[in-house]
């Protein structure tokens, strides 16, 4: 049994990580300020936790004291807390930077101070920007297009520097993660929950641009696998590693598949392309395979089936 801190554990990805760790017999502390996270996700975590193995800490990573308390007695930190939206970062770059950069530095500083074994940090495919080369691989120069992407790149650099200062770190560049519990209600919701909510309400899903932009959609269980591997394998120190499926699907493709699963047809409403959005996104996952032994267990279609079923039942 190991002790883990999951920052952002009341959010979509963090709550899945916390549940899996508890199911694996570990102790889990969640730190979250509930800014975009949800109390319902904490209920799901509690339901998976035998008495005494789950600890909830409501607090903000912008406070170093809070981060110190959160890292006390912990072996691994899975740092997911962030303001995770490109449009939000364009509207309010200072908030995004304060949480995603200064907050991350607090988490890493506290982890180092408290003798944590390894910190795994959530980064993002957005660091690549709109470079034409596909698949995107870690040797390519980053070209961030939004304050959010810059904040994630800065986080990677800080994590790399901390790995030279005595704290083991790995950054995982997630590519469009999806799955149950991803929030469809937020003003900044991601495309799959938004499509699901619109289709189920009989509304036209909104597409920014022509719908031919593509993404390497990655089912949540694969991302959880990668986080656990990054903790325990001990490899990849200081590196930033793509986590994805290695495929790409356009938004039009996605909509058609979701309509097929829900047994309906809807026409999207097309809106102008948004600033900061990238056109094509597909990952090379060779480095993840080499360094972490990662392969995506759940493919796009199976993941989509599970996700659509969740929104039909509980969403």
Interacting residues with ligand NAD (CB under 6 A): 8, 10-14, 32-37, 60-62, 80-84, 99, 103, 122, 124, 174, 176-177, 190
- Closer to ligand NAD at the Cβ: 123 or 163? 123
Residue 267: CB minimum distance to ligand NAD, A: 26
- Closer to ligand NAD at the Cβ: 81 or 167? 81
Q: What residue has token string 């709550």? A: 15
Instruction: With H, G, I as helix, E, B as strand and everything else as coil, classify residue 241.
Output: strand
Radius of gyration, alpha carbons of the chain: 18
Kindly state the tokens that stand for 89.
């970062």
Ramachandran category for residue 276: left, alpha or beta (phi over 0 → left; psi -120 to 50 → alpha): left
C-alpha 250/C-alpha 119 separation (Å) is 34
Residue 141: asked if its preceding bond is cis (omega within 30°), the reply is no
Contact 294, 243 (CB under 8 A): yes
Residue 12: CB minimum distance to ligand NAD, A: 4
- Closer to ligand NAD at the Cβ: 61 or 224? 61
List the catalytic residue out of 4, 76, 128, 148: 148
- Closer to ligand NAD at the Cβ: 16 or 26? 16
In the residue annotation, 148 being an active-site residue is answered as yes
C-alpha separations of 228 from 1, 112, 185, 231 in Å: 13, 19, 29, 5
Torsion of CA 187, 192, 197, 199, to 10 degrees: 130
Residue 79: CB minimum distance to ligand NAD, A: 7
Kindly state the tokens that stand for 315.
């969403």
Instruction: Show which residues are catalytic.
Output: 148
């Amino acid at each position: 049994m190991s002790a883990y801190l999951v920052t952002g554990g009341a959010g979509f990805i963090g709550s899945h990580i916390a549940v899996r760790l508890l199911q694996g017999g570990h102790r889990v502390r969640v730190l979250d300020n509930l800014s975009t996270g949800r109390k319902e996700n904490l209920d799901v975590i509690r339901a998976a936790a035998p008495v005494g193995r789950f600890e909830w800490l409501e607090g903000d990573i912008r406070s170093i004291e809070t981060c110190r308390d959160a890292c006390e007695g912990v072996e691994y930190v899975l740092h997911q807390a962030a303001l995770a939206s490109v449009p939000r970062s364009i509207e309010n770059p200072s908030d995004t930077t304060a949480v995603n950069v200064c907050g991350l530095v607090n988490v890493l500083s506290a982890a180092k101070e408290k003798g944590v074994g390894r910190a795994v940090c959530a980064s993002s495919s957005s660091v690549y920007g709109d470079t034409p080369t596909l698949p995107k691989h870690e040797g390519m120069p980053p070209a961030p297009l939004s304050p959010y992407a810059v904040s994630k790149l800065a986080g990677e650099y800080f994590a790399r520097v901390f790995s030279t200062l005595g704290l083991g770190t790995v950054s995982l560049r997630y590519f469009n993660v999806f799955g149950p519990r991803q929030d469809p209600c937020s003003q900044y919701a991601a495309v799959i929950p938004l499509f699901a909510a619109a289709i189920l309400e009989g509304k036209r899903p909104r597409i920014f641009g022509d719908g031919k932009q593509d993404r390497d959609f990655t089912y949540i269980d694969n991302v959880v696998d990668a986080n656990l591997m990054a903790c325990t394998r001990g490899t990849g120190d200081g590196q930033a590693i793509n986590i994805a499926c290695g495929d790409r699907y356009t938004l039009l493709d996605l909509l058609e598949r979701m309509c097929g699963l829900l047994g309906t047809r809807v026409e999207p409403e097309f809106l102008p392309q948004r600033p900061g959005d990238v056109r094509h996104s597909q990952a090379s996952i060779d480095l993840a395979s080499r360094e972490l032994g990662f392969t995506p267990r759940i493919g796009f279609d199976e993941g989509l089936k599970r996700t659509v079923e969740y929104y039909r039942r509980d969403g």
